[in-house]
Amino acid sequence: MTKLLSAICVAPLTVSALSVFASVAFAEPKKVAPPVTISNVWAKTTVPGGAVSAAYMQINSAKPVRLIKVDTAIADIVEIHDMKMNDGVMEMKALDAVDVPANKLVELKPGGMHVMLIKVRRPINKGDKIPLTLTFEGADKKSFTMNVEANGQERNGAHH
């Protein structure tokens, strides 16, 4: 009789413990983007009647990623550009992507790599908040997006 009572008392615990392990084993894996940090995000104010601007930022990641696309609702065309001096002439060209090596700060800044905002739909004034959606690709070729907000600022630097 004692064996029967102990078997009855232990059985619910065993079933209960098994169901906990089963739910853990079959839980849906969470998709976690590599830890990317975006800081010092700002956009150049537009000149009166102007339809172009540029956005700048610092990007850091614990794992290697590539910035492959930037979108915003305030411009018809958004491109990633790089500016370099070539034989005394400043040249600007569109880039397909920006590589962000692991644990190395990458700066998008005036006179270098930046996000070009073309056909801006409204003026960008000092203090305005400009939403940007950044799309990154990890080493596994999977993409993920991050939303950031640029502040409209007047700064000295390269003119477009």
**So where are the chain's domains?**
36-153
Task: Give tens-digit pLDDT for 39-96.
Answer: 999 999 999 989 999 999 999 999 999 999 999 999 999 999 999 888 888 889 999 9
pLDDT band at 144, cuts 50/70/90? Answer: very high
- Contact at 8 Å (CB) between 38 and 59? yes
Read off the pLDDT of residues 89-135 as tens digits, 9 standing for 90 and up.
888 999 999 999 999 999 999 999 999 999 999 999 999 999 999 99
Higher pLDDT, 23 or 145: 145
Say if domain 36-153 classifies as CATH 3.40.50.720: no
* pLDDT score recorded for residue 8: 47
* Closest C-alpha to 134, from 149, 143, 145, 124: 145
